[in-house]
Structures are given as C-alpha cells and as structure tokens.
Amino acid sequence: MTDPAHVTGSIRADEVVSLSEFRRRFHLGEHFIRQFRKNGLRFVRFGREDFVLGRDVLDFFEKLGAEQAAGVERIMEGE
C-alpha cells in the first residue's frame, strides 16, 4: 500500500494534515486556499499552524460535486 503522504492529490478521511502539506499534495496556491475557506472548507488552528481534516476535505468536494450535478454552479472568482 502506498503511503498517502507521498501521493499527490490524495487524502484519507481519518487524516489530519497541516495546511502546508495539504497545499503540497494538491498543488494549491494561496488563491485557492482563500477560495476554499470562502466556500466553506474548515481549517483548524492549533498553535501557529492551520490543519485540515481529511473528512472535511472529502465532504467539501462531495458537496461541490453534488451541487454541480444538480445544476448549481459555484464560481470561484479571482480577486
């Protein structure tokens, strides 16, 4: 079994990953992180670091997919 920490674009529901690791895995810049926050993805602050729960990431994308399938278009606007 491949370790998800080394797989790009992979996250498990039972994982907690730092924001920097989340950005690395999904090749995300600050713009997309701001859009994810704006659109409801929850980040947890502990000390000086933000973390994301794998379940929250999966729920976020499941909800986004369901909305798109239902014909509700969510536009991630630039600043």
- Provide the H-helix boundaries in the chain: 19-26, 30-38, 54-69
**Residue type (1 letter), 51:** F
| 25-79 tens-digit pLDDT | 999 999 999 999 999 999 999 999 999 999 999 999 999 888 887 775 555 554 4
Q: Does domain 4-69 fall into CATH 3.40.50?
A: no
Entry pTM: 0.76
Predicted confidence (pLDDT) at residue 22 exceeds the cutoff of 80? yes
Tell me the two tokens of residue 54: 């794998």
- Strands 49-53, 44-46: pairing is antiparallel
Separation of first and last alpha carbons in the chain: 41
> For the chain, what are the domain ranges?
4-69
CB of 31 closer than 8 Å to CB of 41 = no
